[in-house]
Amino acid sequence: MPDQVQVVQAATSRLIDEVDHQAVGGATFRGEQYDRGLAFVHHPVGLGGLGLSPNLQGVIDEMLAEAKVPPAFASNPIGVGMAAPTVMTYGSATLQERLLRPLFTGEEIWCQLFSEPGAGSDVASLATRAIQDGDEWTITGQKVWTTLAHVARWGMLLTRSDPDAPKHRGLTYFILDMQAPGVEVRPLRQITGEAEFNEVYLSDVQVPDTMRLGDIGKGWSVAITTLMNERASIGGLVLPRGGGAIGEAIESYRSFGAPQESLDQLMQLWCSAEALRLTSLRAAAQRIQGNPGPEGSVVKLASAELNQRIYEYCVDIQRDLGLLYPDYTMRRPALAGVHAESLERTTTQAFLRSRANTIEGGTSEVMRNILGERVLGLPAEPRADKDLPWSQIPKG
């Protein structure tokens, strides 16, 4: 009887042979992949999986990469990397059946509605209110730095349903229809001219209770699932050896030439990038198993800072050319820059975009706190407001 590896290898080979991804298009190919149980192989049959070991997803992804099939993650990074595991963990059978397939195909893009103007790094202090009235909730508030909200069909929304509970205990988590009345999306223009981030205003938005994930007041637990998968998906994005930013640095060195000390610097960057790539492999393995470990946070922190150093190097060795950036016209990209490695852009644009790397997905300061407290077991920072009702915590 064939083992599980042979089963998924045979199924993936049939998919590649029977469906020409270039002819049918990415969404149709991914739909076939989902229907054949090769999207999330550890999911039950009918929900994009075959009920097999999650480790086998790596076998499938590797075969598709060899066949030059673009990964589903690239078409819907927040949906595939963050929403799918959250919906699978906390969603009803009805929500799983309705949401997972178009999420994987990229036909319905997702965004994350956590950060607020007064609650960035301290997400649990958010103020967006959710008031229940029977089977409906009325939600009012403002979110900020919402990646891809301008193209999103659904949003992962964290709200405050009980202002008299301590800040971590009075939260409730919803899936928000981004096309619902009362949802307004405004662009936030970046230093590159792009506007992939947004402000989102929620004015008496009606959300059915059937779109709630987790128990009322237990939204923080659901949010932790999302956040851990966010960091794991960023940290688990494995590039080929010498690919990504370090590959651009090598090409810049070859194209522009540089003194010996620049070659020494390039070699140091390459060694750091290779060590990071190997750690990313471990993070990806943990994510596939549905059990994100500390590797994701380690790679998120290290990759953000290394990315900035690499593009600083590229701009430096390009000399005057590295100072030129020809087009600051506001653009509304369909993909987030942090995940758009395959998109055409100049090295200078990548340098400017990299300034966001140490902020998005958790600031480097937050990452260091998480690793210090939860991985190394160092004493936590004093939190005077930990057990206070949120309504009694001084604001501003």
Catalytic residues: 230
**How many angstroms separate the most distant Cα atoms in the chain?**
71
- Report the C-alpha gap between 378 and 11 in whole angstroms: 47
Neighbours of 325 (CB within 10 A): 14
345 CB burial (10 A radius; 0-12, 13-18, 19+):
middle
* Total count of residues recorded for the chain: 396
Residue 176 CB contacts under 8 Å (≥ 6 apart), including other chains: 113, 139, 154, 155, 156, 157, 183, 202, 205, 207, 211
Beta bridge partners of 130: 139
Q: How far apart are CA 385 and CA 131, in angstroms?
A: 24
CA dist., res. 160 & res. 141, Å (int): 10
DSSP annotation string for 14-37: HHHHH--HHHH-HHHHHHHHHHTT
271 Cβ neighbours under 8 A, 6+ residues apart: none
Core vs surface per residue 221-243: b (16+ CB within 10 A) or e: ebbebbbbbbbbbbbbbbbeeee
Among candidates 163, 164, 110, which has minimal Cα distance to 141?
163
* Joined tokens for residue 336: 């987030």
Is 190 within 8 Å of 209 (Cβ atoms)? no
Check: CB of residue 132 under 8 Å from CB of residue 209: yes
Whole-angstrom distance, CA of residue 100 vs CA of residue 42: 14
Q: Which single residue is written with the structure tokens 């499938």?
A: 60
